[in-house]
């Protein structure tokens, strides 16, 4: 089969995913939009009444908004790092998961910084961050890092989309007129000639190396926002690598969950195969061991030092947050290790279950880093004002948190409606290089 015929075949195969909306798809979109509207209503209330409608007070000035920011940004950085590795080293099975990773990277980097805005009491003064930045502040450098990474990830995502835009432009005769015009515009004249293809691959590979470096630098700067303070629980020399490993831990977990849902609901069993889950599961196992080691080192050094403020923080963790501590640092680490360590347990469902536990444990771990630390201030706690010491998220914060998750899923689904979640150009390139020995889907799915 020639290349043009194969392109038409692939467009025909993926067209239902792009053009047809099932009843369940519309229901899910409606539910997601409902959560977003609920969040917008909560946001209006917060803007009108101020931060008194949240659980944030004098001591706990950061709540689940910052935790969500850290989680989404680390998810983006880990996605950028993983995507860059897949492209740079030309991993054989990257075509089945690379687009999912790239979409997760960009969408999470859009959603994450929004939670920072929710922490700002005076949004009308937001522009002061850019007009009067303090170059000595890690927060200033974090803003620079996020903006730089966002631009880099957008360019990188667009470069990987161009060949598929060209395929859809030339083979989507049944698509609506606006969609064909959009593909023509976004393809920017790409014709898949040998020169164009080689040039695009070279640029993409260079960008993948840059993305890896940006991910490491940007998340290191985010970790320094905490570790460069003198606050017990944050002042640590291992926070930068600890955050990077934690980001990879949550990133691989979310990717596995996305693989499972996309595979099941879009019937892509022949592209996203068990071998991909096993490979991702082994990677999650290695990262979980590293994450467990860093977590143990962090808490053991604080316990062994017997410093007064560290002892107070551990007392807060072991008493007020005992079950959260157990889930985040024991169940969230040991359960994935046990499931993934033994080969007999490495089924698609069990690997996905391990990923869900890992992601929940990681989010709770971020919570324990932020909230208990702020609840253990240097100044003595005044018993007459316990509500200004202890933090409990209100429905406003939870509504905006769920709205953020809903927006993340909705944007992911909308991008899946723009281009196939399995890169058609990747399939063509793989078959063009003759690495399978057969033709069609069978050739591609051998890896």
Global pTM value: 0.88
Pick the residue with more confidence: 446 or 320?
Answer: 320
- In percent, the amount of the chain with pLDDT more than 90 equals 16
Res 385: pLDDT? 58
pLDDT given at position 428: 80
Please give the residue that has the higher pLDDT: either 199 or 212: 199
Average pLDDT (212-237) is 81
Q: Residue 214 has what pLDDT?
A: 81
pLDDT score at 439: 38
Whose CA is closest to 139, among 121, 155, 120? 120
Name the band, by pLDDT with cuts 50, 70 and 90, for residue 92: low
Is it the case that residue 447 has pLDDT exceeding 60? no
- List pLDDT tens digits, range 18-51: 777 778 888 989 999 999 999 999 999 998 888 8
Most confident of 11-20, 166-175, 371-380, 405-414: 405-414
pLDDT band at 379 (very low <50, low <70, confident <90, very high): low
Chain mean pLDDT for the chain: 83
What pLDDT score does 356 carry? 94
Percent with pLDDT over 70 in the chain: 92
User: What mean pLDDT do residues 80-91 have?
Assistant: 74
Mean pLDDT of the 55-77 span:
85
- Per-residue pLDDT, 160: 86
According to the model, what pLDDT value does residue 443 have? 42
């Amino acid at each position: 089969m020639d290349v043009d015929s194969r392109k038409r075949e692939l467009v025909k195969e993926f067209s239902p995913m792009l053009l047809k909306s099932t009843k369940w798809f519309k229901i899910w979109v409606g539910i997601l939009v409902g959560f977003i509207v609920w969040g917008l209503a909560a946001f209006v209330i917060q803007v009108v009444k101020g931060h008194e409608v949240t659980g944030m007070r004098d001591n706990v000035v950061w709540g689940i908004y910052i935790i969500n920011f850290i989680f989404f940004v680390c998810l983006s950085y880990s996605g950028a790092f993983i995507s860059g590795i897949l492209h740079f080293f030309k991993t054989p099975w990257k075509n089945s998961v690379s687009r999912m990773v790239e979409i997760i990277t960009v969408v999470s980097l859009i959603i994450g910084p929004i939670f920072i805005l929710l922490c700002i009491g005076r949004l009308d003064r937001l522009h002061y961050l850019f007009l009067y930045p303090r170059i000595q502040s890690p927060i200033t450098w974090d803003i620079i890092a996020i903006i730089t990474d966002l631009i880099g990830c957008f360019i990188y995502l667009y470069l990987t989309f161009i060949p598929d835009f060209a395929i859809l432009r030339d083979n989507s005769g049944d698509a609506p007129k606006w969609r064909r015009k959009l593909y023509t515009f976004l393809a920017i004249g790409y014709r898949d000639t040998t020169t164009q293809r080689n040039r695009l691959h070279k640029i993409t590979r260079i960008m993948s190396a840059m993305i890896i470096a940006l991910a490491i630098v940007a998340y290191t700067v985010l970790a320094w926002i905490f570790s460069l303070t003198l606050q017990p629980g944050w002042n640590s020399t291992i926070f930068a690598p600890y955050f990077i490993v934690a980001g990879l831990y949550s990133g691989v977990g979310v990717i596995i969950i996305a693989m499972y849902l996309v595979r099941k609901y879009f019937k892509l069993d022949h592209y996203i195969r068990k071998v991909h889950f096993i490979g991702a599961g082994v990677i999650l196992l290695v990262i979980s061991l590293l994450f467990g080691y860093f977590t143990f080192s962090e808490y053991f050094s604080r316990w062994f030092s017997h410093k007064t403020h560290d002892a107070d923080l551990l007392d807060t963790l072991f008493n007020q947050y005992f079950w959260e501590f157990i889930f985040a640092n024991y169940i969230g680490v040991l359960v994935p290790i046990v499931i993934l360590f033994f080969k007999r347990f490495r089924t698609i469902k069990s690997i996905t279950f391990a990923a869900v536990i890992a992601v929940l444990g990681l989010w709770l771990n971020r919570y324990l880093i932020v909230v208990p630390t702020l609840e253990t201030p240097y100044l003595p706690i005044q018993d007459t004002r316990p509500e200004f010491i202890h933090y409990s998220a209100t429905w406003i914060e939870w509504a905006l948190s769920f709205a953020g998750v809903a927006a993340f899923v909705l944007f992911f689904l909308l991008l899946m409606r723009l281009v196939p979640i399995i890169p058609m150009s990747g399939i063509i390139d793989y078959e063009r290089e003759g690495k399978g020995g057969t033709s069609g889907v069978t050739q591609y799915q051998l890896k």
